[in-house]
């Protein structure tokens, strides 16, 4: 479970699991690669505990099989409401087809500074590892997410996030790291 502190000009990714009124697991979506030599970035990772709103999580806890299966019963709306409460958002956005993100917040606190985070949330309708075909009717939900000007991009799913989705997110994050305006 890793999510590291990278310059604000880099796109960052995290995946998290939420249950009723507490964060169960916060983890990484993108792992850094020492094979990628670049003077522009050293990682696409952001440690979950670097996000102030998730700082109270237990990094050593991993869900049992029974706890993991309970995610099937947590509706996306409950996750969205909890997330908005953690981020001190005053309203919970309504779902509609074609949305760019489920939640967009400028209240993510990282290293004592506010950052804008764009969140893609997927509920238990398809309780299996996330595939690109799970991302909208035309499979373009991840593309739409990364078109939002943000510093942090979060993909949440009630199950594992599959390798193809992770790789696509990594590619979008890498591209955004070159396009994002410098804030430091």
How many C-alpha atoms does 142 have within 13 Å on its Cβ side?
Answer: 24
Confidence of residue 61 (pLDDT cuts 50, 70, 90): confident
Ramachandran assignment for 144, one of left (phi > 0), alpha (psi -120 to 50 degrees), beta (any other) = alpha
- Report which of 49, 29, 30 is spatially closest to residue 111, judged by C-alpha positions: 49
Annotated domain spans of the chain: 12-179
Write the pLDDT tens digit of every residue in 3-36: 333 333 333 344 443 333 333 333 443 434 444 4
Q: What are the tens digits of pLDDT across the range 112-136?
A: 999 999 999 998 888 999 999 999 8
Which single residue is written with the structure tokens 């996000």?
Answer: 51
Please say whether the beta carbons of 159 and 27 come within 8 A: no
The C-alpha R_g of the chain, in whole angstroms, comes to: 15
The 10s digit of each residue's pLDDT in 74-93 is 999 999 999 999 999 999 99
Nearest to 59 by CA among 89, 95, 29, 28: 28
Which helix (H) or strand (E) covers residue 26, if one does? strand 22-28
* Sign, Cα dihedral of 82, 84, 88, 89: negative
**Taking the complete model, does pTM exceed 0.85, yes or no?**
no
């Amino acid at each position: 479970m890793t999510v590291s502190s990278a310059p604000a000009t880099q796109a960052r990714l995290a995946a998290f699991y939420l249950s009723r009124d507490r964060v169960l697991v916060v983890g990484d979506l993108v792992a850094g690669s020492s094979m990628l030599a670049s003077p522009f970035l050293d990682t696409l990772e952001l440690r979950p505990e670097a996000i102030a709103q998730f700082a109270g999580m237990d990094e050593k806890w991993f869900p049992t099989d029974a706890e993991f299966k309970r995610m099937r019963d947590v509706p996306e709306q409950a996750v969205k409401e909890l997330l908005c409460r953690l981020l001190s958002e005053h309203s919970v956005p309504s779902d509609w087809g074609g949305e760019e993100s489920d939640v967009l917040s400028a209240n993510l606190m990282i290293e004592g500074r506010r950052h804008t985070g764009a969140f893609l949330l997927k509920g238990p309708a398809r309780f299996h590892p996330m595939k690109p075909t799970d991302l909208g009717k035309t499979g373009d939900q991840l593309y739409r997410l990364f078109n939002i000007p943000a510093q942090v991009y979060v993909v949440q799913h009630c199950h594992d996030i599959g390798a193809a989705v992770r790789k696509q997110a990594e590619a979008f994050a890498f591209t955004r790291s070159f396009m994002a305006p410098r804030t430091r």
